[in-house]
Amino acid sequence: MYGLINKAIHDFVLDQFDQATWDRITERAGIPGKVFEPMEQYPDAETYTLVASASDVLNMDPEDILSGFGHYWVIYTGIHGYGDLMKSSGSSFEEFVSNLDQLHTRVGLAFNDLKPPSFKIKREDVGTLLVTYTSERPGLVPLVEGLFHGLAERFGQSIEIEHLGPGQGEHDELFRITVLEEPDPDKAIDSVTAGCPFTPDAKTE
């Protein structure tokens, strides 16, 4: 994965906790003091290890950490250099998710060898979408669910998500998403820390 992901995990922990917590996580991961450069590539295994180490240090399920990070990632990328690109990709949850593959294609112009996921949408009924998520990276369904919720809040909408399990393709996961309301600029969330805090009783060692 590109270092932008790991850098965002670093900032996520600092926003939600503090530098000391991040230091404990990187020490547990065997990379104490490591600084991630956004445009450099790092092994996927290193990112998975960071999540596992955060789970140990924070006494939280990895799934909850991934979900929180997915939520955070939506706002983080908008603030850190990709705001105009995101604005041009849609003005509602459905429109934005429909354009995610195009967005990733444009991002790929700056990131060589980018291996983004794919999102395909089929409208099942009014307000109900079937979304096929395709990625060679395993175990990221909670992150994708957090991403969906973050995208909905970006447009002042709320959604319900049902993970239907594997899709037809080898690396497919299928979701049914019910969009509960129309976009509302007055309810839109644009703060990087809004809407995605960890549970109040999460404790570090």
Q: Do residues 89 and 126 share a domain? A: yes
The tally of domains found in the chain comes to 2
Q: Do residues 127 and 47 share a domain? A: no
pLDDT at 191 (0 to 100): 56
pLDDT at 190 (0 to 100): 65
Last residue of a domain, one of 45, 60, 75: 60
Q: Which residues are registered as beta bridge partners of 122?
A: 130
pLDDT at 110 (0 to 100): 81
pLDDT at 83 (0 to 100): 80
Alpha-carbon gap, residue 176 to 164, rounded angstroms: 7
Last residue of a domain, one of 16, 32, 60: 60
Contact 158, 151 (CB under 8 A): no
Contact 156, 141 (CB under 8 A): no
Q: Do residues 74 and 136 share a domain? A: yes
The reply to whether 33 falls in a domain is: yes
Q: Do residues 91 and 13 share a domain? A: no
Q: How many CB atoms lie within 10 A of CB 154?
A: 21
pLDDT at 117 (0 to 100): 94
Q: Do residues 74 and 163 share a domain? A: yes
Alpha-carbon gap, residue 150 to 106, rounded angstroms: 21
Domain that holds residue 24: 3-60
| Token code pair at residue 13 | 């922990």
The reply to whether 195 falls in a domain is: no
Alpha-carbon gap, residue 96 to 152, rounded angstroms: 9
Looking only at the bridges linking them, the beta strands covering 172-179 and 128-134 are antiparallel
Give the pLDDT means over successive 10-residue stretches in the chain (205 positions): 91 92 97 92 95 95 94 85 85 95 89 89 92 96 95 94 95 97 84 51 46
pLDDT at 75 (0 to 100): 83
pLDDT at 111 (0 to 100): 81
The reply to whether 190 falls in a domain is: no
